[in-house]
Structure 1
Amino acid sequence: MAKIPLLVDVDCGVDDAQALMMALAAPEVEVLGITCCFGNTTIDHVCKNVLRVLQVCNRMEIPVFRGASNSLLGEISAQYSHFGGDGLGDAEDPSSPGLEYLQEEDAVHALIRIINQYEGKINLVALGPLTNLALAVKIDPSLPKKLNKLCIMGGNLEGRGNRSVCAEFNFCLDPEAAYIVTNEFTCPMFIATLEFTRENCLTAEYFKNWVNQDTEKARFMKKITAKLPPRPTFVSYDSYAMAAVIEENIITEYMQCSVSVELHGRYARGMLVLDTDDKWKKEHKAFLMKKCNLDRFKERLWNALL
């Protein structure tokens, strides 16, 4: 059976690292490349973090591409703190690979090249701001038709945000990019929203047992999460989008409707807008994740650290 060809676009913080490690541990997946975008930290830290994850997983052969360092309008706040200043808990390792391991080609042109090379086969998982994807579709408008599917972690179902009052982090950091992608990518689109991930959270006990496995990967995960504030539940936000691509049946229920992104609201800029009554009469509908097989999800996440 052929492996699932995967491209992953990340703003590599702790949860991106968890999602990447899930993909790298899945024998049915072939990661063809990882493109980097600003988000959880600066673009240079994002690139270093991806290389660090690949080093821990002994997968340095996977090409890594440097992408957008700011939003399309350049409005990003320079404050990075929720995963530490470097995105991985400020748990530096002097043996980590440097930026010289990056590909010379930039992320946007790498996306275009690889998707065209594997036309109709690529599954693209987008785990950060959608800036690289928006730039790519503006250069090559035919790109969405050449994807097998696009799976996004971002947006929200109920207008409750974690970056602003009404907007989820990834969409809020580049609302224009999120608007372009939700409106111009007409391939099958699957979205793991903020509310979906929180409603399918895991327990703090699971997390404790997960990072205390006697493996190098678990020790790495424990190190980069050591300074995060304790929480009653564990949400590996980006891993849901990754799991949905690796094993389709992990997501057991979807809501299908047209979507867009609010750009002009005083309070709601960056909010995902759902056309649940089909007032727009748009042909393209997105699949919004609603329910998850948590037993299968936990198994995938557990195996990521073996």
Structure 2
Amino acid sequence: MKKVWIDTDLSVGMKRHTREGYCDVDDGYAVLQLMKSNKVEILGISAVFGNTLIENALELSQFMSKEFADDKIPVFEGAGKALDFTNLATNEAVEAMAAALKKDKMTIMAIGPATNVGILLLKHHELKDQIEEVVLVAGRRKPTDYFAIGNKGNHARDLNFDLDNDAFRILLESGVKTVLCPFEISNKVWVKQGDLEKLAEGDAANKWLTKASEAWLAQWIDQGAAGFNPFDVLASHYIISPEDIISEELNARLELHPDDTVKDTERKAFKQYLLCDENPKGFPVTYCYDVVEDYHEKLIESLV
């Protein structure tokens, strides 16, 4: 059985703290999929800032452990902001991950900013060989591979990477096996109204998650989409059944380009991009880019 640590910015059902609307729900799908799998043992859950504030992510992590895992999965508070090299502080989550790694090798599913993982690798570098792999949701092949949401010309951020570039850099430079599940693969998977209705027929966890997904689905439909992409669930599915995920070995690097999420910048706004291709100057990663033909059926089945 694969030993897994979940590092997440859970935000299911939360209202956005920076603008109008609701937060992502896909992290809830990823956590629930792992909870329901008989192929993994979840050693712990650590909260991190990202889609929502750290206190919200922590509260939701505690809620999911208590309500859907009989409170058997310990939950820890992690970073509330990006890495600060001038005052690098550890936290409860980092020390809990370190303690777990001293006992067992494990896979880390990091589906928020990689801040906790970055701190772990800086503070406890001697434990890096205990990490079998880190699976994250980030990256693209080219800076012009836009994260298009709906058909109204809006581009989403590569949020996990954008919120802490340095944490990703630390991970890549560490040599720890890194698996990326980027927008390229998640935008080939859709959750629609009919899927929510089917999932709602399941247990209490499914009912909670589908009810919380209604507002999120409505936001996507308002953008011209027929459903929503469950980004983070591609990471959990890779951990459970990698044979369902099509990937290739590429090299990843950070590169500066105009910010594609800001319209009419006249090249005034720039940002770092996590680019993955065959450039030998990069760091090796497993880059997931497609799913098997019957993936959607397998995904719904794993949740039901």
Is TM > 0.5 for Structure 1 vs Structure 2?
Answer: yes
1:57 corresponds to: 68
Mapped to 1, the partners of 2:226 and 2:257 lie a distance apart of 36
Mapped to 2, the partners of 1:168 and 1:20 lie a distance apart of 20
Deviation at 1:295, TM superposition (A): 2.5
Mapped to 2, the partners of 1:106 and 1:188 lie a distance apart of 24
Matched residue SS, 2:125: coil
2:233 corresponds to: 239
* Aligned counterpart in structure 1 of residue 245 of structure 2, from 251, 263, 267: 251
2:9 corresponds to: 11
1:287 corresponds to: 286
8 Å CA contact 1:153–1:238 kept in 2: the answer is: yes
- 1:56-205 to structure 2, matched below 5 A, reads 56-73=67-84, 106-118=92-104, 121-159=105-143, 160-161=146-147, 167-184=157-174, 186-198=175-187, 200-205=188-193
Mapped to 1, the partners of 2:62 and 2:169 lie a distance apart of 30
TM-score scaled by structure 2? 0.79
Note the aligned Cα RMSD (angstroms): 2.5
Mapped to 1, the partners of 2:191 and 2:257 lie a distance apart of 38
Mapped to 1, the partners of 2:127 and 2:38 lie a distance apart of 27
Deviation at 1:117, TM superposition (A): 1.5
1:101 corresponds to: none
In structure 1, stretches of 5+ residues that fail to align are: 75-104
8 Å CA contact 1:167–1:269 kept in 2: the answer is: no
8 Å CA contact 1:179–1:262 kept in 2: the answer is: no
Deviations 1:118-164 (A, max 9, x none): 1xx31111100000011111112233322112111122233225799
8 Å CA contact 2:191–2:230 kept in 1: the answer is: no
1:273 corresponds to: 275
Q: What amino acid maps onto 1:131 in structure 2? A: T
Matched residue SS, 2:136: strand
* Percent identity (aligned): 20
Question: Aligned in 2, Cα 1:189/1:214: closer, same or farther, shift over 3 Å?
Answer: closer
8 Å CA contact 1:166–1:269 kept in 2: the answer is: no
* Aligned counterpart in structure 2 of residue 212 of structure 1, from 178, 184, 200: 200
2:261 corresponds to: none
Deviations 1:25-63 (A, max 9, x none): 001210000111001111110011112222331331100
